[in-house]
A = this chain, B = another copy of it.
């Protein structure tokens, strides 16, 4: 997840005469939740428990969890889920860890199943210093907000619900999942929704991803295309073979053109070069250089347009290098390999999950904003399963940068957690 800069779509306020009935029904349902003795007891537990929540955030942040190397953090999280008294605690074949909080209808086997998930992986490679630097309520560390705090939020929810003896109609599956970031390409969610034993039972999905005021509801799945682009050439001695085509120059030309593309602000469309590499020694013309690039859009049509422009400019850059220098020993060739392809889509604002989340935001005095993003919700959204992504209160910035930070100031953090918890238990049907 990330600091949301997406277009905000203000939801209509309840009571405005032209709106459909659902908001009123949703508001009533959430208000009943929030007014209940059970929810109040849960909130009191979250409040009492807050220091532990912060400590768990720090502990989990300091376990490195690079893409495809989530195992160490997953093992610790699995143990925590066990300690929190969930049933069916397990790691699935993809590496996701999860446990079930059984609802009232669970014995019949036909209870609805709601999944709430936070992702285990961060974008940071092995070797990154993940020690948390704390200054008052501010915690700075790579991955602290994206998405480690949410893992701790899920644990706090289980403790609060248990302390308040909250029972729900639906089963709730708490998940720490792999593969949300970068090369993971949503592999954790793909497995959960298409291969796991729960795949046909999930009726609603909440991704707890990131830290922020708490009024943001991601209902739109930003589509993305990612490529590993490798430029190959004959290579040779930097001096002796001077004048031969150089894949680094072809790649530079492609990158420069890529950087100069113009994209619409709305629908939000973006591009980036994320990783570059190649070459063997300073005194050799490389035989290969490569780059990993990322393109996204709220609009499938804009993404397709950007994708076509990218492919054209890569081909042009290669042709220019082959024309600019000698191909006597071989030409520059390029391979554009698709490494990520996230579906776009949207959970309609008329869906119950969006209505309840919006009502929960309003119940805590905020105005809901529906946004687009690229999160674990992309997978259920693309499968037609109602899904949203929520943030858990507090403030944060610099996600994906080494100076990432969150502020766990208690009042604003608890407000966001309450919004998310109200959404979860109202959806699950509080008894």
Please give the residue numbers on chain A whose beta carbons come within 8 Å of chain B beta carbons, in ascending order: 1-5, 67, 123-125, 128, 146, 181-183, 222, 224, 226, 234-242, 246, 248-249, 251-256, 258-260, 268, 270-287, 289, 291-294, 296, 321, 324, 329, 339-340, 373-374, 398-403
Of the residues B2, B234, B282, B324, contact of A226 by C-beta under 8 Å:
B282
Bound-complex Cα distance A118 to B401 (A): 47
18 A-B pairs with CB atoms under 8 Å apart are A123-B280, A124-B280, A128-B280, A146-B237, A235-B401, A237-B401, A239-B294, A239-B296, A242-B268, A242-B270, A242-B272, A248-B255, A252-B254, A274-B279, A274-B282, A275-B282, A282-B293, A329-B398
CB pair B281 A275 closer than 8 Å: yes
Bound-complex Cα distance A123 to B248 (A): 18
CB pair B400 A281 closer than 8 Å: yes
CB pair B286 A279 closer than 8 Å: no
Bound-complex Cα distance A234 to B404 (A): 11
Question: How many copies of this protein are present in the complex?
Answer: 2
Bound-complex Cα distance A336 to B207 (A): 44
CB pair B238 A270 closer than 8 Å: yes
CB pair B235 A402 closer than 8 Å: yes
CB pair B272 A5 closer than 8 Å: no
Closest chain B CB from A410 CB (angstroms): 25
The 9 A-B pairs at the shortest CB distance, nearest first, are namely A2-B240, A252-B255, A275-B279, A242-B270, A2-B237, A249-B259, A238-B272, A182-B281, A248-B273
Bound-complex Cα distance A106 to B217 (A): 87
Bound-complex Cα distance A271 to B368 (A): 57
Of the residues B279, B285, B291, B403, contact of A248 by C-beta under 8 Å:
B291
Of the residues B3, B237, B273, B280, contact of A241 by C-beta under 8 Å:
B3
**Cβ contacts under 8 Å, A324 to chain B:** 259-260
**Cβ contacts under 8 Å, A1 to chain B:** 240
CB pair A283 B277 closer than 8 Å: no
Task: Report if A401-B296 is in contact (Cβ < 8 Å); known contacts: A3-B237, A242-B270, A275-B279.
Answer: no
Task: Report if A286-B273 is in contact (Cβ < 8 Å); known contacts: A237-B2, A400-B237.
Answer: yes
